[in-house]
Structure 1
Amino acid sequence: MNKVKTILNTFSPISLKEMNGVSLMKRTDTKFVIHTHQLISILEDLKKDYKVLEINKDRIMSYSSLYFDTAENKFYKDHHNGKNNRIKIRQRKYVESNLCFLEIKQKNGKGETNKSRIPVTDFETSLNATSKKFISSITNTEYDLIPSLWNQFNRVTLVNVKNKERVTLDLNLNYKINEVEKRFENLVVIEVKQERFNRKSKIIKSLKVIRQNPYSISKYCIGMISLYNDLKYNIFKKKLIRINNIIA
């Protein structure tokens, strides 16, 4: 982390307000997974083409999320079973900004992600009436939701200086529910957020140099199968093996 901080200090900063023009609430997300030691060379290659989000002099942010699902784990199962139109519902706190939102991510069959959100005061382990109304208005369904997963991680956000593109680098992933906990040290999940996939993007090219191709992965689903022993996870088994090989 010290090496990451040192390199990030060589990037030009961008404020949260300036970044709003690249919010990309409707977008295409492309993910990659690498070991932390590979991140150093990637960052060195990007510093002329990207700015780094800085809030109160912090460039590595702390995120905390609480995911919700039905008692039957419908959202997880929809993802596992390959359903094109699927949903994730979570509350996320942006710690350095002291902001908390209820967020709904909807993915369609074209690979596009639509994100809707409203501010909330803090985490609600039992959703209040306003939150339930918002969820039903966006999903057109009334779900009986319960907390399914706590997730904490650190994030670096990069913004392309020329193109409408954001890149998030998630590190130190930690999952917990009740007394069960799982950490993924040395893993970096990179997510490139664009209006449409652009293989000419500098970070896509940099990752290709180190032989890293797009890799579909859900941090939520990996967390679920790591904490719950009774979930079907056939489709994610190879992904979990690959992650464990990366961080070994």
Structure 2
Amino acid sequence: MKQQLEHIVNNFRAITLGEMDSVSLMKRTDTKFVIHEKDLISVLKEVKDEYRILEIDNQRILTYSSLYFDTPSKKFYHDHHNRKVNRTKIRMRKYLVSNKCYLEIKQKDGKGNTNKTRIPVEDFEPDLSKKSLEFIQNTTKQNFDLEPIIWNQFNRMMLVNTKAKERLTIDIDLSFKQNSSKKAYKNLVIIEVKQQRFDRTSPIVQKLKQRQINPYKISKYCIGMLSIYKGLKYNRFKKKLIKINKITA
């Protein structure tokens, strides 16, 4: 299946990082879909003329590694679980193909918008530097007691609509770890459509709809936390876990 995916991905027209600046969409609406990897292959075949794919150093399936931070009480996880509309995620993400690393803050507002702010850092900082702590405090207007809580890694394809201001991220080979605990999700694909506002005429949304695949709210961070930490409150995520386990079985 991986060979099929690579073959299809190589049939897309490429786009460079510089060309993607016009669709950076740091303030946006994110809409997610969860599918099996076998469905991804057929969808990509049908939309290959509607999107270009990010290519860096001749690579189109790019590896990302992230380190998430939370408080000792796991505030960010519980805010998400309890459906708090204004919530925050803080992570460091490394783009392995370019060896660039960023401290990123994602903030959701009550209108469903996501604001993403970031600064470059030299490398992962399990112990946050003074500069990083100041950036977090200035951005969030809060003083969180933060600790490294979970690592994750995945492979990503990034597509850009040739006609509309729309980007897609397609994540596969998702895995999590913290200390000696590890969890990998095979066959799971998370597609995230990033737009100024949700547009159902998007080619990828249309093709997914034809397969009766509808938008599905899911957080890689929360799923990872449940995979690694036992005893977390998860009643509102129970159906999501059942769906994911069915896909990855």
Q: TM-score range by the shorter chain?
A: over 0.9
The equivalences for 1:76-225 within 5 A come to 76-225=77-226
Query: 1:51 aligned to 2:72?
Result: no
Equivalence for 1:236:
237
Equivalence for 1:41:
42
Distance 1:214 1:188 in 2: 13
How many residue pairs end up in the alignment? 248
- Aligned amino acid, residue 25 of structure 1: M
Q: Secondary structure at the match of 1:97?
A: coil
- Aligned amino acid, residue 212 of structure 2: R
Distance 1:67 1:183 in 2: 17
Distance 1:230 1:244 in 2: 18
Distance 2:87 2:6 in 1: 36
Query: Once the two structures are aligned, what percentage of the paired residues are identical?
Result: 59
Q: Secondary structure at the match of 1:101?
A: strand
Q: Secondary structure at the match of 2:97?
A: helix
Quote how far apart the aligned CAs of 1:246 are: 1.2
Quote how far apart the aligned CAs of 1:20 are: 1.1
Quote how far apart the aligned CAs of 1:162 are: 0.4
User: Which structure 1 segments of 5+ residues have no match?
Assistant: none
Distance 1:93 1:21 in 2: 22
Quote how far apart the aligned CAs of 1:47 are: 0.6
Equivalence for 2:16:
15
Quote how far apart the aligned CAs of 1:109 are: 1.1
Distance 2:195 2:42 in 1: 22
Q: Secondary structure at the match of 1:127?
A: coil
Q: Secondary structure at the match of 1:142?
A: coil
Quote how far apart the aligned CAs of 1:75 are: 0.4
Equivalence for 1:25:
26
Distance 2:134 2:145 in 1: 12
Quote how far apart the aligned CAs of 1:230 are: 1.9
Equivalence for 1:69:
70
Q: Deviations over 1:179-215 (max 9, x none)?
A: 0000000000000000000000000000011110000
Distance 1:38 1:85 in 2: 33
Q: Secondary structure at the match of 1:244?
A: helix
Quote how far apart the aligned CAs of 1:247 are: 1.6
Q: Secondary structure at the match of 1:170?
A: strand
Distance 2:233 2:18 in 1: 42
Distance 2:6 2:53 in 1: 11
Distance 1:103 1:89 in 2: 6
Q: Secondary structure at the match of 1:241?
A: helix
Distance 2:113 2:236 in 1: 21
TM-score by length of 1: 0.99
Q: Deviations over 1:213-245 (max 9, x none)?
A: 000000000000111002101111110000001
Q: Secondary structure at the match of 2:116?
A: strand
Distance 1:126 1:75 in 2: 18
User: Which structure 2 segments of 5+ residues have no match?
Assistant: none
CA RMSD of aligned residues (A): 0.5
Q: Deviations over 1:128-162 (max 9, x none)?
A: 10000000000001111001110000000000000
Q: Deviations over 1:74-114 (max 9, x none)?
A: 00000000100000000000011111000000001111000
Q: Secondary structure at the match of 1:32?
A: strand
Q: Deviations over 1:42-88 (max 9, x none)?
A: 00011110000000000000000000000000000000001000000
